[in-house]
């Protein structure tokens, strides 16, 4: 896939199916973007078009070490 090349029609459907499969196996949007040479926004948009239920943002919440007064 060429970076910045317009993807339409059947090719777009194929790319969407491939990204959907990888995302549902646990790949992050950022890792998919890096692997395809596309932007985060492009991958996000394609996944939405493919009907993917996006995962919530993960990670542990930061705890402050400061004491509140």
**Mean per-residue pLDDT for 8-23?**
93
What distance in Å separates the CA atoms of residue 24 and residue 31, rounded to the nearest whole number? 13
pLDDT of residue 4 exceeding 70, the answer is no
Each domain of the chain, given as residue ranges in start order, spans 9-49
**Mean per-residue pLDDT for 48-53?**
94
Mean pLDDT for the chain overall? 86
What distance in Å separates the CA atoms of residue 8 and residue 65, rounded to the nearest whole number? 51
Tens-place pLDDT, residues 25-34: 999 999 999 9
Predicted TM-score (pTM) of the model is 0.76
């Amino acid at each position: 896939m060429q970076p910045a090349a317009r993807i339409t029609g059947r090719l777009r459907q194929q790319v969407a199916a491939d990204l959907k499969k990888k995302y549902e196996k646990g790949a992050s949007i950022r890792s998919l973007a890096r692997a395809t040479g596309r932007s985060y926004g492009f991958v996000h948009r394609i996944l939405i078009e493919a009907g993917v239920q996006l995962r919530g943002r993960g990670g542990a919440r930061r705890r402050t070490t400061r004491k509140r007064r």
